[in-house]
């Protein structure tokens, strides 16, 4: 008589379970009828510590005030939260710095270092830094009636060539004064 697949699986599972139970029982020590009792002498380790109490004259830190206070609990009292957080404000040099786009224009009959930054006050010395390559220049801020579209700063063409090529216009810059 042949057994079905299900009967063969049941027998295999039963055999595996029997072996696992037998091995577990043998590992615990219950399968052998004779139990050996080994007496092992308990080892004890004694440690002794000696401490010399500090007198208040030699105490430092929190012990100097009151030696009855626990050291880990002494310290500044925590403040109750009040719903506010500290806010970082830029320093005085950071207040006069803005980002923008720069382009170039040839100012008539001027060979000096001039430019127009719409966000800076007129007549001040302006430093313009190209954010793409880090080059910078200094120029005097003068008034120009119109700005090219997409530009916040216009620089005299010979000066613009110190920080970028003409094909790069408009380029991202930082203007500070």
pLDDT along the chain (177 residues), means of 10: 87 94 85 55 64 54 55 65 71 73 84 85 90 91 84 90 89 91
Q: Residue 2 falls within a domain, yes or no?
A: no
pLDDT the model gives residue 31: 46
pLDDT the model gives residue 150: 85
Which region, left, alpha or beta, applies to residue 28 given φ > 0 means left and ψ of -120 to 50 means alpha? alpha
Q: Residue 148 falls within a domain, yes or no?
A: yes
CB atoms within 10 A of CB 56: 10
Q: Residue 6 falls within a domain, yes or no?
A: no
Q: Residue 157 falls within a domain, yes or no?
A: yes
Q: What's the whole-model pTM score?
A: 0.47
pLDDT the model gives residue 33: 52
Q: Residue 149 falls within a domain, yes or no?
A: yes
Can you give the residue range of the structural domain that contains 125? 97-176
What is the DSSP track for 38-99? Answer: ---PPP---------PPPTTT--THHHH-TTS-GGG-SPPPPPP-S--------TTTTTEEE
Q: How many domains does the chain have?
A: 1
Q: Residue 117 falls within a domain, yes or no?
A: yes
pLDDT the model gives residue 20: 92
Q: Residue 28 falls within a domain, yes or no?
A: no
Question: For the chain, give me the number of helices (H) and strands (E)?
Answer: 3, 6
| Closest listed residue to residue 102, CA positions, set 25, 159, 35, 62 | 159
Q: Residue 112 falls within a domain, yes or no?
A: yes
Structure tokens at 24: 């577990």
CATH number at residue 155: 2.40.40.10
């Amino acid at each position: 008589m042949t057994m079905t697949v299900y009967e063969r699986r049941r027998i295999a599972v039963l055999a595996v379970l029997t072996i696992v139970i037998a091995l577990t029982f043998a590992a615990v020590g219950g399968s052998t009828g004779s139990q050996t009792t080994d007496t092992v002498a308990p080892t004890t380790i004694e440690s002794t510590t000696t401490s010399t109490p500090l007198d208040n004259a030699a105490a430092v830190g929190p012990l100097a005030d009151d030696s009855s206070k626990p050291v880990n609990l002494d310290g500044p009292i925590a403040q109750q939260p009040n719903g506010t957080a500290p806010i970082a404000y830029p320093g005085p040099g950071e207040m006069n710095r803005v980002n923008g786009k720069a382009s170039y224009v040839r100012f008539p009959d001027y060979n000096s270092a001039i430019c127009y930054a719409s966000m800076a006050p007129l007549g001040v010395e302006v430093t313009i830094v190209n954010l793409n390559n880090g080059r910078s220049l200094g120029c005097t801020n003068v008034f120009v009636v119109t700005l090219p579209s997409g530009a916040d700063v216009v620089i005299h063409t010979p000066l613009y060539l110190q920080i970028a090529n003409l094909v790069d216009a408009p380029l991202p810059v930082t203007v500070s004064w």
